[in-house]
Amino acid sequence: MANLKCPKCQGKTQILDTRSRADGKIKRRRQCFSCKYRFNTFETLDKKR
Ligand SMILES: [Zn+2]
């Protein structure tokens, strides 16, 4: 989950912004290096029990 590919051109993406939410999920804003397409991803933290 570290390096997501661009959904449009499969290019490399960079993380523009990372925000943790109250529900425990992490929202990341990403942008493609190649086509500049921006999209958001939601990741769930693995909680240790
Ligand atoms: Zn792209």
> How far, in Å, is the centroid of ligand 1 from the Cα of 38?
8
Spell out the domain ranges in the chain: 1-42
The CA dihedral of 27, 31, 37, 40, to the nearest 10 degrees, is 0
Which pLDDT tens digit goes with each residue over 1-49?
A: 457 899 999 999 999 999 999 988 999 999 999 999 999 999 887 776 6
> How far, in Å, is the centroid of ligand 1 from the Cα of 11?
5
Output the CA torsion sign for 48, 5, 18, 21: negative
Structure tokens at 1: 């989950």
Distances (CA, A) of 48 to 8, 19, 27, 28, 45: 35, 20, 20, 22, 9
> How far, in Å, is the centroid of ligand 1 from the Cα of 26?
22
CB-CB contact of 3 with 10 (8 Å): no
What is this structure's pTM? 0.75
pLDDT of residue 45: 76
